[in-house]
Amino acid sequence: MRGLARREFCLVLLRRMSDLRPDLVADALPRVEATRAQAHAAHTRWQALQHAPGGPRGGAAFTAVLGPPEEETASAWGDLPLLVRRWPLPLWPQLRWEVVAGPDGQVLRTQLVRAPGSTVPPATVDDLRVWEHVVDDVGAVEGATVVDAEVPTRDELHLPRGVRTRFVWGLLQDVQRAG
């Protein structure tokens, strides 16, 4: 593999997901016609790109790999102007890769988000779909509270009745129920 594109970027995302769900990652590799060695090579190439002197920085690194975004919108958080960009990825057609950047192009958040028109049903305490629901889906459940996961690529939300959810890159990986 010489470079990176959307397929290879999916492999990069899978690398972190394999920490929590190696079973789902193993099932996903054939769907993108990839081997573990190719996934490792994609991750190595991504890391090299991230640390290359003179390489693209911030949001430009994602554009270099993923091409022009499908969607680009200006937004704001208070008086801070933001640029939100989204790309489709072949492994998760019902989702989009979202990059939120500040006015200087510095990336503030990256995660998988729900695509417009997605047919995935809303999340409930009793219906949480691993690798289908995203942080925003589960965060909309009444009584959801965010827990500081202390790792930039991970999120954790607690729900009523002792339900704990863990995410990687914004995608639900694990649901633990009390008792």
* Per-residue model confidence as pLDDT tens digits over 117-161: 999 999 999 999 999 999 999 999 999 999 987 888 899 999 999
Report the predicted TM-score, pTM, of the whole model to 2 decimal places: 0.92
The ranges assigned to domains in the chain are 1-55, 61-116, 135-176
Give the model's pLDDT for residue 171.
Answer: 98
Q: Is the dihedral of CA 115, 120, 125, 131 positive or negative?
A: negative
Residue 2 reports pLDDT greater than 60: no
What value does the mean pLDDT take over residues 54-75?
89
Chain position carrying tokens 């006015």 = 103
Residue 16 identity (one-letter amino acid)? R
Q: Which two tokens stand for residue 11?
A: 């492999």
Question: For 87, what's the count of Cα atoms within 13 Å in the CB-facing half-sphere?
Answer: 22
Q: Which two tokens stand for residue 132?
A: 């289908």
